[in-house]
Every structure is written in structure tokens, then in C-alpha cells.
């Protein structure tokens, strides 16, 4: 059912490229801007737990996100409208809808620019009609009044909810977007379908946890996500490198759409793992962990711990919106026990109050030896991250294992953005697989 919906949509979301001739070597390149104000580790953990706890109630509709905004550390810079208006969106691989806060303001020259999208200031904006086919793919507020006979312009209303009850409602619309390409040319793409949100509510999308964002760029696996819509024109592939945002100055991270990575680095340097599928959560990018090792010793974790059950619980999601990583509880307990056995550093006093189970005191030690964590994935690939990807430094001289437990039957394991740092991740939607490489971030 899902694939037929997808192919149907590929007919509807027909993109016209105005000034960009797509060649196989050209791709779209969007800067990902790290958010720095959540540097307090307790706040990051709280935001991540908020996102993860929302996952207990799986979404009923495939078009409702299963996630609340976590500590989602990366913003994408989107330009929409004619002339282009610049907006900062939370880049989220855990949801599908692209939406921005909209303001109906007519003459906003005195208003602070960039706080909302102003459709009245754009020549290319239009809302879908309620009887337009794309309208069927966004959740509608009830009751819907769509009368085709009267032919009155009834716009397509949408109401999109996140797992914690946060919602955005408004008009499902289309706009022209402006991008830079890999060869620094400017490209425009017509008819990006997005939610023009006139009302937002809930903790995820308002206030400090939204951190000044003007919307969300859903990069999920579903058909209306930014990457699915644009990917149709660019080989159904997107990739990103998340670089360490705690460095100063923070290195530039990019989201690229349509990059064929062999233009940049050799395919041989990539490891691939196939997507797993959860029909009850089609937005997420699931991968399959088969086993875990600590300092080269494979842990005796029952493989059923990693599976997706009939209720859609379990499995492992690659998520940009969560900072730390989460493992199903029986696996987490064994990983933690193995770390405790292998780590030869003194415990950091009082540090467990921060919410982590293992914190070590590394003050005065120039090169502390931390145990080596490896994930063995389906497709015979191995994710072997550096220790900095799974130890977080909440205070000078203190390092905590940035992994937490997820209770069985209450969600899934998560490879968060910290664990992904320094890797080029390529989401190959066409071949249903994820490629990753430690080589390739430098050249992007």
C-alpha cells in the first residue's frame, strides 16, 4: 500500500526546475547550522528523553510524526518565495512534513524579518485546494468541508501532530525554493509542498525548546518529506555530515540532496546497511543492529532484543533530532556492565546526578583510554565510532557514557546525532540502504 502511494505521489509532486540543469554531478547543498544554546548536558538529556518518551504511543496515522522535537541540534536554512525569504528550520529525520510559521501580514516592513514566512510578500505562493490530490496526504482537522460542486476556493487545511501533543495547523501550500548547488550556482525549484502554519501549540514547537526556529524540515522516509519530494529530481539520495558543534568555531555541516557520493569519495570507502521497515512508523529510518562489542568482545545479547515486534515497538532508528543514543534495556544493561568492567578510570564524584550511569574523572589525564564500542549491522557492516561519539563531557574533566536505556515495548533504540558525528551518512532511498563513511566529511 505504501509503495503505491509513493509512486502516485511522484506523479503529483511534479517539480519544474527553472534555472538548473541537473547533471549527475550536481547536487543541492544546504548548510546545517548547529544550535549552540543547548550546551548544558542536563537540558540536552531532558529534551532527548522528552522526544523518546513520546515514542511510546506510536502514531496512528503514517503522516503524523512519531517524534517530539528532541534536542535536535541542527537547523537548516530554507529560502522560499519570490523574492526568497530566509527561514531557519529544525532538520528532523524523524518526521515528514515541511512546515513554516506563516503570517498573513500585508505590510510587514517594520516587522522583524525572518520571524515568519509572509505569503503576501511572495509572487509564487499558493495554497492547495481541498480537492487537490496532495491534500489527501496531510492529516486534516475534523470536520473537513470540501465541496467540489461549489468550486469555491476552500484551501487545504492540515493539522500535524508530534508525539507529545504539539501541533501545527494551517494551509497545505506550494512555493518556489531557492538553493545553491554544489558548483555554487543558484537553482530554483517550483512547487515544494509545505505547511503554512498559522497556529502552533505545544512544548515541542514553541518557546525555548524550539530555540528560535520558524518551522521544521521533515527529512523522514515518507512521501511528503523534503528529501522525498526533492530527491525525486536528484536520484533519491541525500546525505549529511554532522560535525562536532562543540568546537569553536564550529565546522560547517551540510545537507546535500542528490549527491552521488562516488563523485566525492570512492564507493569502496562506504559501508552499507539496508533499511529495515516498520509499517507502523513509516517516517523513520530503521537500521538493524545484530550485535555489539566492547573492546572487541561481543556481548551475549539475545538478537530478539533488536527486532521490531507486531505492535511496531523495537528496532533501531537513525535520528538526527536526538543527541545521545538509546538502546533497548536488556542490551543497554550488558553494554553498561561491559564498560564498567573495561574502564580503568576513577568515577567522577557526583556526576551521576546528571542522569548518566557511568561518568569518569579524566582530569589531569592527557589521553584517557576509553573502551571501544562497535555496532555490527545488517549487511555485514560495522559502525565503529570514536569514543568522542559516545562519551559526552558535561563538565571539564568529566566524561559520561552518552547512552541510555529504552524499556522493552516502549519505543526503539536510537543512534543519535552525537554517535553520527564525523561520518558521511548517505540515505539511498532508491536502493533502501544507508551508506556511511569516516572519509568524506572533509571534502564536503
| 2-10, 14-22, 314-322, 359-367 -> range binding ligand NAG (CB under 6 A) | 359-367
CB of 421 to ligand NAG, least distance (A): 22
> Residue 40 interacts with ligand NAG (CB under 6 A)?
yes
Q: Which of 19, 302, 352, 432 binds ligand NAG (CB under 6 A)?
A: 302
Q: Are 327 and 408 a contacting pair, CB within 8 Å? A: no
How many residues in the shown chain lie near ligand NAG by CB under 6 A?
Answer: 21
Sequence-ordered alpha helix ranges (H) in 318-413: 329-342
Per-residue string for binding with ligand NAG, 90-119, x by CB under 6 A? -----------------x-x----------
What Å distances lie between residue 394 and 43, 51, 348, CA to CA?
Answer: 11, 20, 11
> 296 or 364: whose CB is closer to ligand NAG?
364
> Residue 352 interacts with ligand NAG (CB under 6 A)?
no
Give the distance from CA 184 to its chain's centroid. Answer: 25
CB of 65 to ligand NAG, least distance (A): 25
Q: Are 241 and 272 a contacting pair, CB within 8 Å? A: no
Residue with cell 508525539: 163
Q: Give the residue from 90, 50, 98, 88 showing the smallest Cα distance to 70.
A: 50
Residues marked active site are found at 92, 319
> Residue 79 interacts with ligand NAG (CB under 6 A)?
yes
Which H helix or E strand runs over 5?
A: helix 2-12
Q: Which of 19, 141, 349, 443 binds ligand NAG (CB under 6 A)?
A: 349
Give the distance from CA 47 to its chain's centroid. Answer: 15
Residues 377-436 that bind ligand NAG (CB under 6 A): 397-398
Task: Find the angle CA(155)-CA(219)-CA(377) to the nearest 5 degrees.
Answer: 150
| 198-206, 315-323, 361-369, 412-420 -> range binding ligand NAG (CB under 6 A) | 361-369
| 172-180, 247-255, 367-375, 424-432 -> range binding ligand NAG (CB under 6 A) | 172-180
CB atoms within 10 A of CB 3: 8
Q: Are 171 and 155 a contacting pair, CB within 8 Å? A: yes
CB of 363 to ligand NAG, least distance (A): 5
Q: Which of 10, 43, 103, 154 binds ligand NAG (CB under 6 A)?
A: 43
Per-residue string for binding with ligand NAG, 304-333, x by CB under 6 A? x-----------------------------
CB of 50 to ligand NAG, least distance (A): 14
Backbone angles phi, psi at 189, to 5 degrees: -125, 130
SS3 content of the chain, % helix, strand, coil (to 5): 20, 35, 50
Q: Which of 16, 25, 36, 42 binds ligand NAG (CB under 6 A)?
A: 42
> Residue 8 interacts with ligand NAG (CB under 6 A)?
no
| 40-48, 213-221, 269-277, 368-376 -> range binding ligand NAG (CB under 6 A) | 40-48
Output the nine-digit C-alpha cell for 320. 538526527
| CB neighbour list of residue 143: distance below 8 Å, 6 or more residues apart | none
What Å distances lie between residue 184 and 20, 63, 153, 190, CA to CA?
Answer: 11, 34, 40, 19
Output the nine-digit C-alpha cell for 230. 526533492
Q: Which of 180, 260, 277, 410 binds ligand NAG (CB under 6 A)?
A: 180
Residues that bind ligand NAG in the complex, under the rule CB under 6 A: 40, 42-43, 79, 107, 109, 131, 148, 178-180, 302, 304, 348-349, 351, 361, 363-364, 397-398
Amino acid at each position: 500500500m505504501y509503495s503505491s502511494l509513493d509512486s502516485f505521489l511522484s506523479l503529483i509532486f511534479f517539480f519544474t526546475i527553472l534555472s538548473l540543469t541537473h547533471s549527475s554531478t550536481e547536487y543541492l547543498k544546504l548548510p546545517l547550522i548547529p544550535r549552540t544554546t543547548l550546551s548544558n548536558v542536563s537540558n540536552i538529556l531532558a529534551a532527548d528523553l522528552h522526544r523518546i518518551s513520546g515514542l511510546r504511543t506510536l502514531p496512528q496515522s503514517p503522516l503524523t510524526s512519531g517524534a517530539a522535537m528532541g534536542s535536535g541540534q541542527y537547523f537548516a536554512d530554507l529560502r522560499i518565495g519570490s523574492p526568497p525569504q530566509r527561514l531557519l528550520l529544525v532538520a528532523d529525520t524523524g518526521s515528514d512534513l515541511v512546515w513554516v510559521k506563516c503570517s498573513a501580514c500585508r505590510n510587514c516592513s517594520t516587522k522583524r524579518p525572518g520571524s515568519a514566512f509572509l505569503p503576501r510578500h511572495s509572487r509564487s505562493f499558493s495554497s492547495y485546494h481541498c480537492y487537490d490530490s496532495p491534500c489527501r496526504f496531510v492529516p486534516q482537522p475534523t470536520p473537513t468541508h470540501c465541496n467540489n460542486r461549489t468550486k469555491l476556493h476552500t484551501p487545504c487545511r492540515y493539522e500535524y501532530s508530534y508525539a507529545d501533543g504539539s501541533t501545527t495547523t494551517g494551509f497545505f501550500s506550494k512555493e518556489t525554493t531557492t538553493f545553491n548547488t554544489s558548483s555554487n550556482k543558484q537553482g530554483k525549484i517550483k512547487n515544494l509542498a509545505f505547511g503554512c502554519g498559522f497556529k502552533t501549540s505545544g512544548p515541542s514547537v514553541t518557546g525555548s525548546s524550539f530555540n528560535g526556529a520558524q518551522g521544521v524540515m521533515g527529512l523522514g522516509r515518507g512521501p511528503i518529506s523534503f528529501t522525498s519530494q526533492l530527491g525525486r529530481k536528484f536520484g533519491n539520495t541525500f546525505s549529511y555530515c554532522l560535525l562536532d558543534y562543540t568546537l569553536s568555531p564550529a565546522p560547517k555541516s551540510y545537507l546535500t540532496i542528490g549527491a552521488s557520493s562516488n563523485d566525492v569519495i570512492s564507493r569502496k570507502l562506504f559501508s552499507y546497511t539496508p533499511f529495515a521497515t516498520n509499517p507502523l512508523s513509516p517516517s523513520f529510518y530503521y537500521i538493524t543492529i545484530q550485535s555489539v562489542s566492547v573492546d572487541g568482545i561481543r556481548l551475549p545479547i539475545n538478537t530478539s532484543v533488536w527486532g521490531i515486534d507486531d505492535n511496531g515497538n523495537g528496532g533501531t532508528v537513525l535520528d538526527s533530532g536526538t543527541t545521545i543514543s538509546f538502546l533497548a534495556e536488556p542490551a543497554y544493561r550488558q553494554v553498561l556492565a561491559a564498560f564498567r568492567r573495561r574502564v580503568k578510570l576513577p568515577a567522577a564524584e557526583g556526576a551521576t546526578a546528571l542522569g548518566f550511569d557511568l561518568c569518569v574523572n579524566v582530569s589531569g589525564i592527557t589521553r584517557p583510554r576509553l573502551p571501544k564500542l562497535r555496532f555490527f549491522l545488517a549487511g555485514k557492516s560495522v559502525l565503529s565510532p570514536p569514543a568522542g561519539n559516545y562519551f559526552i563531557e558535561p563538565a571539564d574533566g568529566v566524561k559520561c557514557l552518552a547512552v541510555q536505556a529504552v524499556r522493552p515495548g516502549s519505543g526503539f533504540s536510537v543512534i543519535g546525532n552525537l554517535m553520527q558525528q564525523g561520518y558521511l551518512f548517505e540515505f539511498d532511498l532508491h536502493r533502501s540502504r544507508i551508506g556511511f563513511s569516516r572519509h568524506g566529511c572533509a571534502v564536503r
